[in-house]
């Protein structure tokens, strides 16, 4: 959904190519915080065109390359507004669901594998925080002055979430070696009989 929001949103400012959209997303570091991969932009443009939300406005030949310029349609603007309203009104609690699921089955893998995976997870998250901080420094210079406070708040919020996750991972890493192995079992219950 976020790819659609960004593509439609950027096209609502002016018609542009997929490459230009990728450039704006790179500037915003969208691959980090929104998980928007550069290759997904061209797929999204084709899909949005099929759905009638964007249209091919023009093609330009530059050397051996053909630039395809897309524009948003009136129904695309309606869809963009619908998606924006949905984003503003949807609460997105942050929690590492995959990690919680893995903890449910803590004793299935050897403890040494779990600890090694936690070490890798901690290192990856530390690296992500460093990249995040560098991205924040870059954004402080590249964005319009009137947007800087909102961007600063967004970066601070993202960093805080990552730091909370990092503290949790470090606590797990510290306590797991001393935790005795246990045999998890499901509580027994009788299924209700249909009558």
Contact call for residues 32 and 135 (beta carbons, < 8 A): yes
- Is the pTM higher than 0.75? no
Enumerate residues 6+ apart whose C-beta is below 8 A from 173: 115, 118, 119, 122
Q: What is the per-residue pLDDT across 111-123, written as a single tens digit (0 to 9) for each?
A: 999 999 999 999 9
Q: What is the per-residue pLDDT across 150-195, written as a single tens digit (0 to 9) for each?
A: 888 888 998 999 999 999 999 999 999 988 877 666 666 666 655 5
Q: Residue 147 has which token pair? A: 């947007």
């Amino acid at each position: 959904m976020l790819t659609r929001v960004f593509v439609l949103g950027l096209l609502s400012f002016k018609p542009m190519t997929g490459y230009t959209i990728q450039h704006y997303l790179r500037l915003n570091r969208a691959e980090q915080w929104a998980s928007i991969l550069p290759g997904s932009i061209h797929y999204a443009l084709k899909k949005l065109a099929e759905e009638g939300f964007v249209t091919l406005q023009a093609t330009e030949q530059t050397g051996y390359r053909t630039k395809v310029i897309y524009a948003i349609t009136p129904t695309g603007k309606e869809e963009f507004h619908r998606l924006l309203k949905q984003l503003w009104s949807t609460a997105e609690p942050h929690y590492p669901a995959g990690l919680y699921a893995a903890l449910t089955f803590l004793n299935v893998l050897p403890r040494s594998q779990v600890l090694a995976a936690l070490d890798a997870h901690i290192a990856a998250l530390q690296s992500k925080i460093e990249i995040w901080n560098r991205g924040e420094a870059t954004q402080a210079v590249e964005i319009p002055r009137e947007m800087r406070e909102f961007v600063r708040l967004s970066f601070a919020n993202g960093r805080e979430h990552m730091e909370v996750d990092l503290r949790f991972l470090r606590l797990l890493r510290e306590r797991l070696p001393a935790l005795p192995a246990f045999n998890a079992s499901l509580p027994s219950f009788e299924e209700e009989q249909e009558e």
